[in-house]
Amino acid sequence: MQRLRLNNNREIDILGLGTYQMRKEEVENAVNAAMKNGYRLYDTAQVYRNEGEVASGIRKTGIKREDVFITTKISTANQGYSAAKESLRESMKVMDEEYLDLVLIHWPGAEKVELDDPKNKELRHGTYEALIELQKEGVVKNIGVSNFMISHLRDLFEAFHERPQVNQIELSPICYPKEVVEFCQENGVVVQSYSTLGRGKLLSEEWAEKYPVLKRMKQKGDISAQILKWAMLKECAVIPKSKTPERIEQNFKALTAEISEEDVEGLDDFPVQERTCWDPNKIL
């Protein structure tokens, strides 16, 4: 497994398994297939409602806890110092874990707060303060943010001495915020890419017919591995989601996949730019 170095000198696997929209009953099979292939990093979140199944699925494989990396995320409903702390304790109870490897603030905004309300900033800073304390206690090994754009990161850097280890953002050929990646990397924050496969869109026959770069890549072999490799070449970690054992195996091949320079350029300048998730840019 290739790893990226974090700003606290720990490491993170460059490839892991995403679990968004993985139903409770699908998790065990997917985690088991992933472990067999060599995945050791698993990404869940309070809002995915599968934290417990992810943790128990991992335990059932018999792989030692210290060899596995588990991420969860504090939901928008639990923003703010006290709610974040309480909710994380609850997550750990549900997961039956004594520590977590990475906890992220899922989104810069808070539930039921208008996009332009300064309360968003106050609440997410409260959440971050809670994460710093939990990290000092050793309950959380690494802390980070998700969907933070440059303005949110600047605010955070001004308010806190402690930098987040990770920023998990939407990053794929159809959503490539190059300036955010550069800003994170200049400031020692590892970027973890989500929806790297455009939720599967980039792998479809329909898109291969429309976009020559995708057609060309498909003819060369596993296109999913090549697209993941595209992100990894930018020193970004990836967490492709699949509940399907064959696809989990295909995606793992990203570690050994090759992608031509022409195809890298084709994906860098992909003609479609559209988010699969909400746009965090407007959140104050």
Q: Which residue has the tokens 């840019």?
A: 281
| 146 lines the binding site for ligand NAP (CB under 6 A) | yes
Q: What 8-state DSSP symbol labels residue 207?
A: H
Q: Is 75 in the site for ligand NAP (CB under 6 A)?
A: no
Coil, helix or strand for 166? strand
> What is the sign, positive or negative, of the torsion defined by CA atoms of 85, 86, 91, 93?
positive
Catalytic residue ranges = 48
Q: Of residues 196, 208, 214, 231, which one binds ligand NAP by CB under 6 A? A: 196
d(CA 257, CA 92): 36
Interface residue with ligand NAP among 88, 195, 226, 263 (CB under 6 A) is 195
Which residue of 203, 208, 217, 237 would you call a contact of ligand NAP, by CB under 6 A? 203
- 218 is a site residue for ligand NAP (CB under 6 A): no
Does residue 57 touch ligand NAP according to CB under 6 A?
no
CB of 222 to ligand NAP, least distance (A): 7
Q: Give the one residue of 14, 239, 259, 267 binding ligand NAP; rule: CB under 6 A.
A: 239
Cβ at position 30, least distance to ligand NAP in Å: 8
User: Which residue do the tokens 């874990």 mark?
Assistant: 97
Q: What does each C-alpha distance from 267 to 2, 144, 185, 189, 270 come to in angstroms? A: 22, 27, 20, 23, 5
Q: Interface with ligand NAP includes 247 (CB under 6 A)? A: yes
- Please say which residue, 173 or 261, places its beta carbon nearer to ligand NAP: 173
* Continuous H helices in the chain: 24-37, 51-60, 81-95, 119-137, 150-159, 178-186, 205-210, 212-220, 223-232, 245-252, 261-268
Q: Is 184 in the site for ligand NAP (CB under 6 A)?
A: no
Could you say which of 27, 31, 41, 43 contacts ligand NAP (CB under 6 A)?
Answer: 43
In the bound state, the residue with its beta carbon closest to ligand NAP is 18
Smallest distance, ligand NAP to C-beta of residue 118, A: 22
Smallest distance, ligand NAP to C-beta of residue 32, A: 15
Kindly state the smallest distance separating residue 121's Cβ from ligand NAP, in Å. 18
Per-residue binding string, ligand NAP, 77-106, x by CB under 6 A, is -----------------------------x
Residues 12-41 that bind ligand NAP (CB under 6 A): 18-20
Q: Which long-range contacts (CB under 8 A, 24 or more apart) does 158-165 make?
A: 159/125, 159/128, 160/125, 160/128, 160/129, 160/132, 162/132, 162/135, 163/7, 163/187, 163/188, 163/189, 164/128, 164/189, 165/6, 165/7, 165/8, 165/10, 165/12, 165/102, 165/189, 165/190
User: Would you tell me which residues interact with ligand NAP (CB under 6 A)?
Assistant: 18-20, 43, 106, 146-147, 168, 194-200, 203, 224, 239-244, 247, 250-251, 277
